[in-house]
Amino acid sequence: MPAREIKPNIFSVGAIDWDRRLFDELIPLFDGTSYNAYLIKGTDKTALLDSVDPAKESELVNNLKELNITKIDYLVCHHAEQDHSGTIPKILRIYPEAKVVTNQKCKEMLKDMLLIPDHRFIEVKDRETISLGDKTLDFILAPWVHWPETMLTYLKEDRILFPCDFFGSHLATSDLYVTDEPLAYRSAKRYYAEIMMPFRTSIKKNLEKIKDMPIDIIAPSHGPIHKKPSFIMDAYKDWVSDNVKNEVLIPYVSMHGSTKKMVDYFTEALIKRNIIAKPFNLTATDIGELAMAMVDAATIVIGSPTVLVGPHPNVVYATYLANALRPKAKFASLIGSYGWAGKMAEQITGMLTNLKVEVIEPVIIKGYPKEADFKALDRLADDILRKHMGITGQ
Ligand code: FEO
């Protein structure tokens, strides 16, 4: 991606990774991603905000050359994860005067992970500022979005917030700014679900910190830049709120059709009660879609056959992820089938220790579902309807 001017003397100098298909060897990237870095030239000093993933270091270096940058005074590191910090050692070699500006926690992480020597750092505290002459960098510590060391920079004079991962999205696009709002919303929501959702409480506090700041532009480190800050800030406010939607997420696996029959019947039972049902066949869906559906759902009902007395391993994986991602669901249950015996219900519910959910009585049946089993699924749908009416009024 070539260097592009955002405002006079403020440039986007990062890289687009069109082909990347997996992040952290875990998260599918259907739309690729970008590693955004920003160069700010003040009348006295020049600052580079973040670097790029090491796979794209030549793009960052070339962009700086293209802009004839011969000196960088400050290399601000908002977040130690290597997709933003990985090229810092290279930049420090090319620009020997540059100092890494970051907070104490991030500094220690960079020393551990990238072996950057102590003398190359300038340590800053919350709301400390650094002047570039006509421009001022105001640092805001924002822990746990999504690591403990994360911080943001507010460029006062230009009213630009650089929040690194916060408000980002894994979206490779040649658009410098958000142009397609539905696409940007979906990408940002997916990113929130996969990366930020476990830190919902911290994000709420960090949103409070910035809510009254005059912000014209939000320039994150992944995905397009927001010229309409309220678009992404309002979306985050909704996602991190305690409000849940009248939705039931049903991640499931079926080996011989019994659990599938239950899921199909149960899905219809929910629809008849005007509840939004979202069944996810775990052999066919991707975890990002599943995570995204967890952002709003009031209830999660896990469907599983019995394998060696316990749940299907794919269901264990999805349950582990659900527990780790800490969605705000308020209710959970389980449906499924066994051949001769099983301890599936205890094992699954025992894995949901992070979730503050009320467990509604599961429907675990022997073999293929029969009349009484369908009645039990209707009972579960009725229970969910009552619970949802109690919290959403729907
Ligand atoms: Fe984009 Fe947490 O790194």
CATH fold of the domain at 4-240: Metallo-beta-lactamase; Chain A (3.60.15)
CATH class of 245-392: alpha beta
Sign of the dihedral through C-alpha 344, 259, 316, 360: negative
What's the 146 CA to ligand 1 centre distance in angstroms?
8
**Per residue, what are the HEC states of 12-41?**
ECCEEECCCCEECCCEECCCCEEECCEEEE
- CA 26 to mean position of chain CA atoms: 13
Output the residue whose Cα is nearest ligand 1's atom 2. 81
Residue 147: which of 81, 67, 218 has the closest Cα?
Answer: 81
DSSP secondary structure letters along 199-252:
GHHHHHHHHHHHTTS--SEEEESSSPBBSSHHHHHHHHHHHHSS--EEEEEEEE
Residue intervals in the chain for CATH 3.60.15.10: 4-240
| pTM given for the model | 0.95
170 CA → ligand 1 middle, Å: 10
**What does the block give as tokens for 140?**
């805001």
- With 0-12 / 13-18 / 19 or more C-beta atoms within 10 angstroms meaning exposed / middle / buried, residue 168 is buried
Supply the angle between the helices 229-240 and 200-210 in degrees, to the nearest 10.
Answer: 140
Q: Going by C-beta distance under 8 Å and a sequence separation of 6 or more, which residues neighbour residue 326? A: 197, 198, 200, 354, 355
* C-alpha gyration radius of the chain: 24
| Cα–Cα distance, 146 to 389 (Å, whole number) | 33
Closest protein CA for atom 1 of ligand 1 = 165
Strand partners, 332: 300, 359
Enumerate the CATH 3.40.50.360 domain ranges in the chain, comma separated.
Answer: 245-392
53 alpha carbon to ligand 1 midpoint, in Å? 10
Per-residue pLDDT of the chain (394 residues; tens, 9 = 90+): 899 999 999 999 999 999 988 888 888 888 899 999 999 999 999 999 999 999 999 999 999 999 999 999 999 999 999 999 999 999 999 999 999 999 999 999 999 999 999 999 999 999 999 999 999 999 999 999 999 999 999 999 999 999 999 999 999 999 999 999 999 999 999 999 999 999 999 999 999 999 999 999 999 999 999 999 999 999 999 999 999 999 999 999 999 999 999 999 999 999 999 999 999 999 987 889 999 999 999 999 999 999 998 999 999 999 999 999 999 999 999 999 999 888 899 999 999 999 999 999 999 999 999 999 999 999 999 999 999 999 866 5
Q: What lines the ligand 1 site, CB under 6 Å?
A: 79, 81, 83-84, 146, 165, 221-222
